[in-house]
Amino acid sequence: MWDAIECTEDQKSILNTVKKFVEKEVLPRSAELDAHPNPEDGYSQEIIAEANKLGIRTMTLSEEWGGLAASSLTTSMVVEALGRGDIGVSVAFAQTLKIAQIMEKALTEEQKSRVLPAFVDDPTAMLAIGITEPDNASNYFLPHPAPFNTVAERIEGGWVVNGMKHFISNGNRAKFYLLFVQTEKEKTLSTGSTCFLVERDRPGFTIGRVHDKMGERLANNAELIFQDCFIPDENVIGETGKGFGVLAEFFPQSNAYAGASVLGCADALYEKALDWAKIRVQGGKPLIEHDGIRAQLSEMQMLLDVARTYIHKACYLADNQEKGWNKTLGVYPKAFASQTGWKIATWCLEIHGGHGYMKEFGVEKLVRDAAAFLHSDGVNRTLFLKAANFIYAD
Ligand SMILES: Cc1cc2nc3c(=O)[nH]c(=O)nc-3n(C[C@H](O)[C@H](O)[C@H](O)COP(=O)(O)OP(=O)(O)OC[C@H]3O[C@@H](n4cnc5c(N)ncnc54)[C@H](O)[C@@H]3O)c2cc1C
């Protein structure tokens, strides 16, 4: 279902590899992993290691650093294909792929030489980004004049960080983190924060709770806790006090990758609804021959096509900004894809009747998964307000 834009031969080859990987490594395990009561047990190092053998984990890095130099468009196609297998697997990789992309652009040569080989050479190393705090969440999407509560004190040679982040995707699985910290306390989070590079084994940094989530259980989200954690000046990314500049400059495709993850899940729900409509006979004929159901399936197909086209447009223009990028493309595609995913989830459930409510039919897991992106990467309402602030700025 990645035909909104005609694929190049390279893209076809990568996507066929990912499709086979999903069929062999993800789909057979996803229901069992999802069912583990302990959230940490839903995450599979084996799946990550197998994907690494195929080059998926590092594909956004340039060839110089051992990657495939995949464009944002190709990456969004891969993220969607992974999401068709499982949204959690897709998210774990989408985060890592996008942060690797940011790192290659935003890190200094010295930082890259410390980080990228260590990331590439470790087959299960993942990446994470820590922005959200218990008291600062939408405040970051709609910059509110509050500071981050995770703060840094200046000392000789670096900074001492105290505070915590929560809900962080790959939080307990990452080898390196991009961390947003308040370095100028009298300013707001958008004017006085700094982006730091943090290594997993840095003294003073520990992992707190791993969140027990409703869905997307094959990915882990965790708290990051900083207690007198010294971070040297060499780990400042960009300029001190300009953390938000790092996000604005190096992050354009983040929202579209999030949309691609939930789109993959929505694809899977549509396929389930279609298959069921073909085999379930009521009223003397298969459900698909009843006009109401037939029209609903057709509407699902339209919504999926539009969501995919929007994501592809945003990804292509994120890499080719001179051809017409505008800031709403960093906001709307995820909102549209997640609303589409949620609508298709409820329709798929409805088409299955009581069967959809029974776990053995596999719809229930996908419905829980489809809810993940109504809030992740920004609550949709907040994103609409953010876009409004771009559109109606003057
Ligand atoms: C699965 C998942 C993965 C995530 N991964 C990461 C990650 O890797 N890194 C990271 O940093 N964060 C991550 N997050 C955090 C995510 O970005 C936040 O959950 C999100 O920004 C919303 O924050 P909140 O849940 O605290 O909601 P709140 O900000 O408390 O919002 C609650 C409600 O109030 C509304 N609201 C808030 N402010 C306003 C306003 N000014 N005007 C009008 N309405 C408003 C919101 O729209 C929402 O409906 C993740 C979250 C989830 C669920």
Q: What are phi and psi of 13, to 5 degrees?
A: -65, -45
pLDDT exceeds cutoff 90 at 393: no
- 269-290 residue pLDDT tens: 999 999 999 999 999 999 999 9
Residues 141 and 228 in one domain: yes
From the CA of 81, how far away is ligand 1's center (Å)?
26
pLDDT at 2 (0 to 100): 44
**Which atom, in ligand 1's list, is nearest to the CA of 144?**
41
**Which atom, in ligand 1's list, is nearest to the CA of 372?**
1
From the CA of 6, how far away is ligand 1's center (Å)?
35
Residues 121 and 132 in one domain: no
C-beta 132 within 6 A of ligand 1 = yes
Average confidence (pLDDT) over 138-143: 94
C-beta 374 within 6 A of ligand 1 = no
C-beta 280 within 6 A of ligand 1 = no
Q: Is residue 305 part of a domain?
A: yes
Residues 20 and 119 in one domain: yes
- 167-208 residue pLDDT tens: 999 999 999 999 999 999 999 999 999 999 999 999 999 999
Split at pLDDT 50, 70, 90, the class of 216 is very high
Residues 223 and 263 in one domain: no
CA distance 196 to 177: 8
Q: Is residue 205 part of a domain?
A: yes
- Work out whether strand 158-169 and strand 193-199 pair parallel, antiparallel, or are unpaired: unpaired
Q: Which two tokens stand for residue 28?
A: 């057979």
Split at pLDDT 50, 70, 90, the class of 1 is very low
Q: Which residues contact 110 (CB under 8 A, 6 or more apart)?
A: 234
Q: Is residue 199 part of a domain?
A: yes
C-beta 375 within 6 A of ligand 1 = yes
Average confidence (pLDDT) over 241-256: 90
Q: What percent of the chain is modeled with pLDDT above 90?
A: 96
Work out how many domains the chain is built from and give that number: 3
- 42-89 residue pLDDT tens: 999 999 999 999 999 999 999 999 999 999 999 999 999 999 999 999
**E strands, the chain, where?**
126-130, 151-155, 158-169, 174-182, 193-199, 205-210, 221-232, 236-237, 281-282, 285-286
Residues 65 and 114 in one domain: yes
Ligand 1, atom 50, residue with closest C-alpha: 376
Average confidence (pLDDT) over 219-226: 98
**E strands, 283-384, where?**
285-286
pLDDT exceeds cutoff 60 at 240: yes
Q: What is the mean pLDDT of the chain?
A: 96
How many residues make up the chain in this entry? 394
Residues 209 and 146 in one domain: yes
Residues 107 and 20 in one domain: yes
Q: Are 241 and 184 in contact (CB under 8 A)?
A: yes
CA distance 184 to 203: 23
Q: Which domain, by its residues, includes 179?
A: 128-241
Split at pLDDT 50, 70, 90, the class of 394 is low
- Closest-CA residue to 210 (of 198, 197, 219): 219
- Best mutation site among 90, 167, 190 for ligand 1 pocket (most ligand atoms within 8 Å of CB): 167
From the CA of 386, how far away is ligand 1's center (Å)?
13
Ligand 1, atom 26, residue with closest C-alpha: 137
Average confidence (pLDDT) over 308-326: 97
Ligand 1, atom 12, residue with closest C-alpha: 132
**CATH, residue 169:** 2.40.110.10
